[in-house]
Amino acid sequence: MSNVAIDLTGVTKLFGNKLVVDGLSFTVASGECFGLLGPNGAGKSTIARMLLGMTRPDAGDITVLGLPVPARSRLARKGIGVVPQFDNLDLEFTVRENLLVFGRYFGMRT
């Protein structure tokens, strides 16, 4: 198994004509604690969505746990976790319903 948990190489993302992520490259080693920080509009959410395979990059390569994303993102998501800035619980849902929604994000069947 590789010592690399996350690898981005030349990742670019545009929304229309707006360049949101511009040729980003970085590596996170296995076992390393990693935080994605920056001001509003810096592209953090877009990068997180690309790492999870929810948004496809326009250019560049992403691997998570040695798996190419988005091609194998469903399998890659089984080995990672995301902690959002704010809780994302829907107060109109029951605890069970909230758990089902979050489980679906990670490919759980109900």
Q: What percent of the chain has pLDDT over 70?
A: 94
- Main-chain phi, psi angles of 38, to 5 degrees: 165, 170
Residue 89's contacts (CB-CB under 8 Å, 6 or more residues apart) are: 98
**Sequence ranges of the domains in the chain:** 4-80
Residue type, 35: G
For residue 105, the model assigns a pLDDT of 75
Output the tens digit of pLDDT for each of the chain's 110 residues: 579 999 999 999 999 999 999 999 999 999 898 888 899 889 998 998 899 888 999 999 999 999 999 899 888 887 877 766 667 787 888 999 888 888 887 777 76
User: What is the spatial distance between Cα 48 and Cα 1, in angstroms, rounded to a whole number?
Assistant: 23
4-80 CATH, one of 3.40.1160.10, 3.40.50.300, 3.65.10.10, 3.40.50.1000: 3.40.50.300
Q: Are 42 and 17 in contact (CB under 8 A)?
A: no
For residue 85, the model assigns a pLDDT of 66
